[in-house]
Amino acid sequence: MEYEKELWTSVLNILEKEVTAVSFDLWIKTLEPIEIRNNELILVASSETAKNQCLKNHATSIRLSIKEVYKTIDNFVILSPQEKDDYLKTKIESDEKKEKELKPLCNFNKKYTFESFVVGNSNQFVYAASRSVAENPSSKYNPLFIYGGVGLGKTHLLHAIGNHLTLTKPELKVLYVTCEQFTNDYIDTLGSNKKEKSLLTFREKYRNLDVLMIDDIQFIASKIETQEQFFHTFNDLYQNNKQVIIASDRHPRDIATLSDRLRSRFAMGLTQDIQKPDFETRMAILRKKAQEERYSVDDAVITFLAEKIDTNIREMEGALQKTYFYANLLGKQNASLTDAKEALREVFESEVKAVNTENILDKVCRYYNVTEEDLIGKSKKKEIVEPRQVATYIITELLDLPLASIGKIFNGRDHTTIIHSRDKIAEKIKTDNHLKIAVEDIKNMILKK
Ligand code: ADP
Ligand code: MG
């Protein structure tokens, strides 16, 4: 602004020499620049008469001196005080319209609504909290932190909130992003050659919101700089009484590298888990999905799937779809239990096949970034010994193998060493949360959860 004032003062200095003192004092000195729009300098005169005088007697002088100072601008508009008011009013309206057009485009999945969400013992609290936030954002639960295993309905609930808000409060700016999108958006600003400007765009995108939802926040775990950005974004929204909703596959305390200050920010609101659904809920979900997708299946299929798959609703849905498509391929209108068993035989078999010592060693090595040679070798280094003991522990947990056979895998160690390793980890995970998480993560990798 200072700079712009200076420019205008230079224009006045030129004009002062060009016109009579009276004209200058009466008409020109009182002109006030308000903005540059479409390459025109918009000026406001002190009265209708002043405007007319300037246009009638001094238009050329004004134009030339503006061009001399502003260089790229060679035209101007003079508004009377009355016109100024109209001008500002339409400007506000058009800005508002623009803002609406810039509203973050949210493509909420239309299938994921509160109505299509089956409520049972496992998810009734998280459902109630989500509904409450959807109905009254920024009032009771802020932030709302939803956590639970893969395929249990977290993303479904976030979209349900989004769909509900879009319908009932279309004026609110609601943004859903995955942690990955947020991270990429931020990393893009770092790579940009107009870093300042793109950081500004990033801020505008994330701080100019009424509701921000971030899915799968556990992936933020090791990215310190992104955490920093998220921390500031979070604080900014929170201080302005905006709603933040976060989903994660685990409790904040179990996101090992999450900074303490973010953890304590999350604790300011409601942290609510979503549990594995019980048998009845699984049945109800399967029935609902079959109905929605118009899959005609026997009730025995529903029972079979609900019994067989109890940890992941997405997988359960996948199995239902597979069964129906299989029956359809055989030209049947309706899928029976036999169809389900046939269609899913490979799925269930390969699951059993995947859990073997080879696979376990492989996943442990990858997790700890050690070689298999080291893992089964004789090294006594701490960074090798612990992974070795973890591998031993997981093998005893997941496979029904005689201790002597396990010893053979580890270069012929005897069974007492195996027992020692197993018990050591079993004991340690009771108190060491990091280790407990590591073991769970590796097991999930092996079981492909
Ligand atoms: P998450 O984000 O927790 O991994 P999703 O929200 O993606 O899980 O859910 C996986 C699938 O299971 C989705 O198709 C979702 O519609 C379905 N689902 C999960 N919970 C329920 C529920 N309670 N009622 C109906 N469908 C559900
Ligand atoms: Mg999800």
Instruction: List the chain domain ranges.
Output: 2-102, 124-273, 297-350, 355-447
Asked if the domains at 2-102 and 355-447 fall in one CATH topology, the answer is: no
Length of the chain in terms of residues written: 449
C-alpha span between 244 and 264 (Å, rounded): 14
Is 233 touching ligand 1 by the criterion CB < 6 Å? no
**pLDDT higher than 90, residue 401:** no
C-alpha span between 302 and 284 (Å, rounded): 9
Closest CA to 313 of 352, 273, 277, 272: 277
Give the mean model confidence (pLDDT) for residues 411-426: 92
pLDDT more than 70, % of the chain: 95
State the Cα angle at 324 between 322 and 327, rounded to 5°: 105
So what's the pLDDT on residue 389? 96
| pLDDT tens digits for range 44-58 | 999 999 999 999 999
The DSSP 8-state label assigned to residue 149 in this structure reads: -
Contact between 143 and 267 under an 8 Å Cβ cutoff? The reply is no
More confident residue, 257 or 150: 150
Residue with tokens 């500004």: 200
So what's the pLDDT on residue 351? 65
Domain range 355-447, CATH architecture = Orthogonal Bundle (1.10)
Both tokens of residue 83?
A: 């016109």
What is the C-alpha R_g of the chain?
A: 33
Which atom of ligand 1 lies closest to the CA of 116?
A: 25
Give the mean model confidence (pLDDT) for residues 266-292: 94
C-alpha span between 73 and 192 (Å, rounded): 30
Is 88 touching ligand 1 by the criterion CB < 6 Å? no
The superfamily in CATH containing domain 2-102 is DnaA, N-terminal domain (3.30.300.180)
- Sequence-separated (6 or more) residues with CB below 8 Å from residue 109: 159
Both tokens of residue 198?
A: 């793109």
Q: Which ligand is nearest to the CA of 319?
A: 1
Closest CA to 14 of 60, 59, 65, 67: 65
- Name the band, by pLDDT with cuts 50, 70 and 90, for residue 88: confident
- Cα(11) to ligand 1 centroid in Å equals 66
Q: Which ligand is nearest to the CA of 218?
A: 2
Question: Ligand 1, atom 14: nearest CA belongs to which residue?
Answer: 314
By the 10 Å C-beta count (0-12 exposed, 13-18 middle, 19+ buried), 289 is classed as buried
Is 317 touching ligand 1 by the criterion CB < 6 Å? yes
More confident residue, 94 or 234: 234
Is 151 touching ligand 1 by the criterion CB < 6 Å? yes
So what's the pLDDT on residue 98? 61
Number of CB atoms found within 10 A of residue 241's CB: 11
So what's the pLDDT on residue 2? 66
- Cα(313) to ligand 1 centroid in Å equals 6
pLDDT more than 90, % of the chain: 62
Is 155 touching ligand 1 by the criterion CB < 6 Å? yes
Number of CB atoms found within 10 A of residue 224's CB: 10
Which atom of ligand 1 lies closest to the CA of 274?
A: 3
Q: Which three-class secondary structure state does DSSP give residue 389?
A: helix
- Sequence-separated (6 or more) residues with CB below 8 Å from residue 18: 58, 61, 65
Q: Which ligand is nearest to the CA of 178?
A: 2
So what's the pLDDT on residue 57? 92
**pLDDT higher than 60, residue 313:** yes
Residue among 147, 156, 158 whose CB has most ligand 1 atoms within 8 A, to mutate = 156
The pTM of this model reads: 0.63
Give the mean model confidence (pLDDT) for residues 345-365: 82
C-alpha span between 123 and 64 (Å, rounded): 72
So what's the pLDDT on residue 303? 94
- Name the band, by pLDDT with cuts 50, 70 and 90, for residue 137: very high
Is 65 touching ligand 1 by the criterion CB < 6 Å? no
| Topology of the domain covering 124-273 | Rossmann fold (3.40.50)
Contact between 255 and 145 under an 8 Å Cβ cutoff? The reply is no
- Sequence-separated (6 or more) residues with CB below 8 Å from residue 1: none
C-alpha span between 99 and 187 (Å, rounded): 25
Number of CB atoms found within 10 A of residue 239's CB: 8
Alpha-carbon dihedral sign for residues 133, 108, 247, 354: positive
The DSSP 8-state label assigned to residue 220 in this structure reads: G
What are phi and psi for residue 149, nearest 5 degrees? -60, 170
Mean pLDDT score of the chain: 89
Lowest mean pLDDT among 218-227, 267-276, 431-440: 218-227
| pLDDT tens digits for range 172-216 | 999 999 998 898 888 888 877 777 788 888 888 898 899 999 999
Closest CA to 84 of 53, 38, 45: 45
Phi-psi region of 371 (alpha: psi -120 to 50; beta: other; left: phi over 0): beta
C-alpha span between 306 and 286 (Å, rounded): 8
| Most confidently predicted of 75-79, 98-102, 127-131 | 127-131
**pLDDT higher than 80, residue 331:** yes
Which atom of ligand 1 lies closest to the CA of 148?
A: 3
C-alpha span between 93 and 108 (Å, rounded): 28
| pLDDT tens digits for range 227-276 | 888 899 999 999 999 999 999 999 998 887 788 888 999 999 999 999 99
So what's the pLDDT on residue 102? 46
Both tokens of residue 93?
A: 């309206």
Q: Which amino acid belongs to residue 143?
A: P
C-alpha span between 176 and 214 (Å, rounded): 6
Q: Which amino acid belongs to residue 234?
A: F
Q: Which three-class secondary structure state does DSSP give residue 353?
A: helix
Contact between 142 and 238 under an 8 Å Cβ cutoff? The reply is yes
Q: Which amino acid belongs to residue 263?
A: R
**pLDDT higher than 60, residue 105:** no
- Name the band, by pLDDT with cuts 50, 70 and 90, for residue 286: very high
- Give the E-state strand segments of 210-352 in sequence order: 211-215, 243-248, 270-273
Indicate the helix (H) or strand (E) that contains 374: helix 372-376
Give the mean model confidence (pLDDT) for residues 375-397: 94
Closest CA to 69 of 23, 33, 44: 33
Lowest mean pLDDT among 62-76, 77-91, 101-115: 101-115
Give the mean model confidence (pLDDT) for residues 419-434: 94
- Cα(254) to ligand 2 centroid in Å equals 17
